[in-house]
Copies of this chain bind each other. A is one copy, B any other.
Amino acid sequence: MTDALFLPNELESALRQIGAERYHVHHPFHRLLHDGELTRGQVQAWALNRYYYQASIPAKDAILMARLPTAELRREWRRRIEDHDGDGVKPGGIERWLKLAEGVGLDRAMVESTARILPATRFAVEAYVHFVRDRTLLEAIASSLTELFSPAIIAERVSGMLANYDWITEGTLAYFTPRLTQAPQDSEWALAYVKRHADTPEKQQAVLAALRFKCDVLWAQLDGLYLAYVAPGLIPPGAFVPGDAE
């Protein structure tokens, strides 16, 4: 680890380099998913497990919001929670993900229970929530910067899934459309915050490590899906077995 102080734009380049190397767009499970090489059961396993991540994001954001010192900062973060939880009229990200899960043939109550997800999913997602609770506020905000890379993966995922799975409709993938505008708004704000506040080499190394950690959280979820549902097909005791949901 270098101890040099980066200029803000050098720090941004270093953050983007981490995404170029470690973001889960490079994971073989993602490629199989958007290339249409997964069975319906494998896509169900992805939707089921990814739901736990979606459903945990507002808890993560509420923990972070509770640590923000001003109304202005909390308003910025509250918007993210509304994006996921909805406003009671317009459905939020969690509701839209449940629609996706139902659209690929899963039972809504089974998905909401999270009882059949992989332990690897649960442990990775909880590691993210605990990180945001236990690390510095700067590291917690930096860990959200994977949103910098998500518009690309979403565009690729949606077009690939619509092109390659005739049983997946645009309505099923409606989750992703608002994220194409929400994610850049969120990540631009967080990036500006990190560039402004990471003003020592130690803080800059901490934000780079926080983004690496978050990439690990996303990567580990696809690792778990790959082992259990692609190869070698080692489904842990108690986890979802494709076919059970049909």
A221-240 contacts to B (CB < 8 Å): 223-224, 226-228, 231-232, 234, 236-238
Bound together, the chains give a CA A237 to CA B211 distance in angstroms of 13
How far is the CB of A130 from the nearest CB of chain B, in Å? 6
A21 touches B (CB below 8 Å): yes
Binds B, one of A93-101, A120-128, A197-205: A120-128
* Complex CA distance for A224 and B130, rounded to whole angstroms: 21
Instruction: Please tell me if A46 contacts chain B, counting CB pairs below 8 Å.
Output: no
Q: Let me know if B224 and A120 touch, CB within 8 A.
A: yes
Q: How many residues of chain A have a CB within 8 Å of chain B?
A: 28
Q: Collect the chain B residues with CB atoms within 8 Å of residue A231's CB.
A: 231-232
Please tell me how many copies of the chain the complex holds.
Answer: 2
Instruction: Kindly state whether residue A28 has any CB partner on chain B within 8 Å.
Output: yes
A217 interface hit (Cβ, 8 Å): yes
The 8 Å CB contact of A130, one of B124, B130, B223, B238, is: B130
Q: How far is the CA of A215 from the CA of B215 in the complex (A)?
A: 26
A212 at the B interface (CB under 8 A): yes
Instruction: Tell me the complex Cα distance, A14–B123, Å.
Output: 25
Minimum CB–CB distance for A220 against chain B, Å: 5
